[in-house]
Chain A
Amino acid sequence: EVQLVESGGGLVQPGGSLRLSCAASGFTFSDHHMDWVRQAPGKGLEWVARSKNRANSFSAEYAASVKGRFTISRDDSQTSLYLQVNSLKTEDTAVYYCARSSSTRDFDYWGQGTLVTVSS
C-alpha cells in the first residue's frame, strides 16, 4: 500500500524557516518524481515544487512564488522527500501536501498534509 506521511509543519514567524519531510512507503520511491503542493486556508491548490527521479538526474522545478526561498530534495535511501522553506512570508501559510507523480505526470497518491502557519 502506497503511503505518504508529511511532518515538520508548525507555527513560525515571518522570515523564519522550516524543513518539511515526507516519508514514503509501499512503492519504488526512486522510480518516481515527487512533488509538493500547498493549499492556503479556504483557497485552491497551488503546485510548489517537483523533485525528479534519478533517471532525470534528481533535477528540480519550482513555482515562481517560491523559487529562491524553497529547496526541494530527496533521499532515495530513506525513501523521503523534503522541502526546506526559508524566508517565510505570511502568504506561505498553507497545508503542504506531498504527492507522487505517476507515469502520466499527474499526482496519483497524496499525503494527509502538514500545516505551516506564518505569523508573528
Chain B
Amino acid sequence: DIQLTQSPSFLSASVGDRVTITCRASQGITSYLAWYQQKPGKAPKRLIFAASTLQSGVPSRFSGSGSGTEFTLTISSLQPEDFATYYCQQLFNYPITFGQGTRLEIK
C-alpha cells in the first residue's frame, strides 16, 4: 500500500499568513494526487486535483504543486474560512489512500 505522510499534522496560523502543507508518498505516484478541505460536520471538498489543478470555484489563494513523491498545498493568504482540516489522497493504485490530515487552526 502507498503511505501518505502529511506534515505538519497541526498548524496554528493567523489570518493573512502564507502556509504550506507537505504530503510525501512512500513510492512514486506521478501526479495522481488530490487535496481536500474538510470542516467539522461536513463532507470533504475537493480543492486540487492532478497535483496542481485548481477545482473550479476554489479561490486562487490555494495552489498545489509536486510530482512523484513530494507534494505541497499552499494557501497564500489565510482567510477566516480556511481554518479546517486538509487531506491529501493518492489515486495511483489500489488501495486508494489518504494522508492523516493537517488541522489548521487560528493562532
Pair A110/B98 contact, Cβ less than 8 Å: no
Pair B98/A44 contact, Cβ less than 8 Å: yes
Pair A50/B96 contact, Cβ less than 8 Å: yes
Contact with A along B15-56 (1 / 0, CB 8 A): 000000000000000001010101000011110011001010
Cα–Cα distance between A63 and B95 once the two chains are bound (Å): 6
Cα–Cα distance between A79 and B4 once the two chains are bound (Å): 33
Partner of B87, one of A44, A104, A113: A44
Q: Is B89 an interface position by the 8 A CB rule? A: yes
B interface, over-half SS: loop
Q: Is B97 an interface position by the 8 A CB rule? A: yes
Q: What range describes how many residues of B lie at the interface?
A: 20 to 34
Pair B98/A64 contact, Cβ less than 8 Å: no
Q: Is A58 an interface position by the 8 A CB rule? A: no
Q: Which residue of B lies closest to A67 (CB)?
A: B95
Partner of A110, one of B44, B91, B97: B44
Pair A113/B94 contact, Cβ less than 8 Å: no
- Given the known interface contacts A44-B101, A111-B43, the answer about A106 and B95 at a Cβ–Cβ threshold of 8 Å is no
Chain B residues with CB under 8 A of A50: 94, 96
Chain A residues with CB under 8 A of B3: none
- CB interface residues, A 61-120, toward B, < 8 Å: 61-64, 97, 102, 104-108, 110-113
Q: Is A27 an interface position by the 8 A CB rule? A: no
